Amino acid sequence: MDATHAPAVQVGDKVRKGQNLCASEAETTCICPITGTVAEVRFDPAQHEFVVTIAPTKPG
Amino acid sequence: MTNRRSVWTAITLMITLVVLPWTTLTSAEVFNYPTPQTDPNDISFYQAPAKMQSYPAGAVRVRNVILCIGDGMGLGQVTLARMKAIGAEGKIHMQRLPVHGLISTHSANKLVTDSAAGGTALACGIKTNNGMIGMAPDETPYYSILEAAQAKGMATGLVVTCTMSHATPASFGSHVKSRKMEPEIAAQLIGNRINVLFGGGRKYFLPKSHSDSGRKDDRDLLAEAEDAGYTVIGTANQLRWVRGPLVLGLFQLDGLTTLSPEPMLAEMTRKAIDILDETATDSRKYGRGFFLMVEGSQIDWACHANKAEACARQVLLFDEAVRAAVDFAVADGRTLVVVTADHETGGLTIPEGSLKGDEIKAHWSTRGHSASPVPVYAIGPKSERFGGVYDNTEVPQRIAQTLGIKPFPQARK
């Protein structure tokens, strides 16, 4: 997601599939593809983006 | 016989030592990028101002303009760097400039700008939407102040520590709908025949057949640049030897590491000034002076990571480049230097710390950009026009006024 705005989530947050991970004021929405826990939020300078890593919740 | 062999060996060695630095790189060559050798938080390179008083104000006519942009550099970043380097009682070089101002940074569609809209405001004098480069929200391209200076007969240059095609330099030398179009931006930069291009991002100049390429087409922009008369370089040693009037220096595949043995921003700035001043002096085509934009690109990156040490280091690297620009301007007497930023990053404040600056606490309110106004510092002839509180679009408009460029802003036909 574009790094102009901070992500709406941080490390340790529980997220659900379909949830918007981008800040509300951001240009676009970033739909969470899976349900899980945010494991990392990393800034990628080359793309000027935040890369959010989500650890999936184990079924059952 | 032995003596003759020794002579030939000596001659060969001399040829190697003299000719190699001049050898330009082509895309076909394998280029081994240097491994960083120094501490990424080291600030021992920084030379604090010896005197506390301000630089003298300039006089008369503007021949050259050097616009220095600290990407993401708000007052908090400047204060943090000052505290780390000198302490509460000192000033870093940019703070010693005689004229101070503040500018707002909002874009056409957002209170919080990105570097594309912020760069476009500083380059073209217009508001645009976040993400857009060198054009209005309706996609009408506008001349940048660099292009207007070039049309006036001035030599031009861009010096950065990000990729050459990143949002800020792109705003001065290209016109695209999205900052993500770096391969297209790289092509436009070469096509615009900007005299000096120093930074990173070699991958966007390599054809897709090259293993390091960032392009999706077969264009070899390094070869195209050479065909267009550019000298293409890739190392600090080549930078020392190269001469104008057209030089493309790409010192990394991606953004620079800002570590040795890469050329530092100040070193690239000094060299760009040398080349542009010489070109403007010797060439009838570029005989009206020069325009140079220098960006401390990675202040923003350090602030997105909320890393105070890295932020201070990047501001001080930028400040060394400002010093190089100001040293030239003071000696030249006809050069206007304007230092500013495209936006603030991190919402940085300093809630507590020691006066000596050794126990500074940085507080970050966001990992994104903020809408805080950013500083302007200026020196040189007509620098008084850059004081006060105003909008970022007025920075290139005021530069255009000092150079007698009008109308500005102006749409490209």
Q: Mean pLDDT, to the nearest integer, of B143-170?
A: 98
SS3 content of chain A, % helix, strand, coil (to 5): 0, 35, 65
Q: What is the mean pLDDT of chain B?
A: 91
Helix (H, G, I), strand (E, B) or coil at B390: strand
Q: Do A7 and B367 touch (CB under 8 A)?
A: yes
Predicted TM-score (pTM) of this structure:
0.89
Q: Provide the token pair at A5.
A: 């705005």
The yes-or-no verdict on residue B303 having pLDDT over 50 is: yes
Spatial contact of B326 and B57, defined as CB atoms under 8 Å apart: no
User: Pick from B114, B162, B305: which is nearest to A43 by CB?
Assistant: B305
pLDDT at B93: 97
Determine the Cα–Cα distance for residues B49 and B204; give it in Å rounded to an integer: 38
B69-103 pLDDT, tens per residue?
999 999 999 999 999 999 999 899 999 999 999 99
Q: Do A43 and B367 touch (CB under 8 A)?
A: yes
pLDDT at B50: 73
Spatial contact of B92 and B49, defined as CB atoms under 8 Å apart: yes
B23-68 pLDDT, tens per residue?
444 443 445 555 566 777 888 888 888 765 555 555 578 999 999 9
Query: How far is the CA of B383 from the CAs of B47, B121, B324, in angstroms?
Result: 25, 19, 17
pLDDT at B85: 94
Task: State what percent of residues in chain B have pLDDT above 90.
Answer: 82
**Residue B115 annotated as catalytic:** yes
B173-192 pLDDT, tens per residue?
999 999 999 999 999 999 99
Determine the Cα–Cα distance for residues B314 and B215; give it in Å rounded to an integer: 29
User: Pick from B111, B130, B305: which is nearest to A27 by CB?
Assistant: B130
ipTM: 0.88
Spatial contact of B363 and B352, defined as CB atoms under 8 Å apart: no
- Give chain B positions within 8 Å (CB) of A48: 114-115, 166-167, 179
Q: Do B368 and A5 touch (CB under 8 A)?
A: yes
- Give chain A positions within 8 Å (CB) of B255: 45-46
Minimum mean pLDDT range among B210-224, B279-293, B315-329, B392-406:
B279-293
The yes-or-no verdict on residue B3 having pLDDT over 80 is: no
B133-148 pLDDT, tens per residue?
999 999 999 999 999 9
Catalytic member of B27, B104, B107, B115: B115
The yes-or-no verdict on residue B291 having pLDDT over 50 is: yes
